[in-house]
Structure 1
Amino acid sequence: MTRIFAPTLAALLILPVAAGGQGAPGGDAELARDLVARGEILPLARVLDLLETQHPGQVVEVELEYEDGILVYEIDVVTPEGRLIEVDMDATDGRIVDIDEEDED
């Protein structure tokens, strides 16, 4: 899997204010760091390693969002065949919870 440089990928990590409509006082990135530090979610690097084994490709965007009551990493990947897919992975254990192929319109 082709990786984007860490600072670029960190800039792509977005944690919307879906958590009760309030962001963390220090910002959403700080909230994500705190969740990782407390062991509540996996670090992004670990999630990307897990993803690579099942769906190789180039990561083009990563978001951390609440979906159906759980935190998920939504990862957009361009597959080796050139398809754009979105893989949703449970942020707590790295389990794939959904895969969507983007339409070609």
Structure 2
Amino acid sequence: MRHRRWTPALLLSFALIAPALADSDHDRARRALDAGQVLPLPAILTRVAQDYPGKVLEVELEDEDMRWIYEIKLVQPDGRLLKLEVDAADARILKVRGKRHERSHR
């Protein structure tokens, strides 16, 4: 019975901590953009559209191994879903994944 008293306290702690962690990621990404370590999203999407036209469905900016990476999901005009990894510093396409399409540029 003792663990039942702790459950609400633990849930409340997680509820309070989770938003702080999310803000931390956002703040880090904003600082990287302000410092010029990351290109703005419109510049990245312009570069991507040159080789991979389509409708963008989702974009994430992540710090992977001390390197900022944009992960972009898009649907091409022929209906193919592609997942791209783009170097956020220089808009270089690093990896392309999708049905009938797999290419790494690293």
Q: Is TM > 0.5 for Structure 1 vs Structure 2? A: yes
3-state SS in 2 of match to 1:40:
coil
Summarize the Cα distance change of 1:29–1:68 in structure 2 as closer, same or farther, 3 Å threshold. closer
1:39 is matched with which residue: 33, 36, 39? 36
Matched, 1:64 2:61: yes
Matched, 1:79 2:79: no
Matched, 1:89 2:83: no
1:44 maps to a residue whose letter is: L
Larger radius of gyration between Structure 1 and Structure 2:
2
Cα drift, residue 67 of structure 1: 3.5
3-state SS in 2 of match to 1:62:
strand
* CA RMSD between the two structures: 2.2
TM norm structure 2? 0.67
Cα drift, residue 68 of structure 1: 5.2
1:9 match:
none
**Distance in 1 between residues matched to 2:92 and 2:34, nearest whole Å:** 20
Cα drift, residue 30 of structure 1: 2.2
1:27 match:
24
3-state SS in 2 of match to 1:27:
helix
Give the paired residue count: 81
Which runs of 5 or more residues in structure 1 are unaligned?
A: 1-22
**Distance in 1 between residues matched to 2:34 and 2:67, nearest whole Å:** 18
1:17 match:
none
- Preserved CA contact (<8 Å) 1:90 1:96: yes
Which runs of 5 or more residues in structure 2 are unaligned?
A: 1-20, 101-106
- Residue identity (%): 40
Structure with more helix by fraction? 2
1:57 maps to a residue whose letter is: G
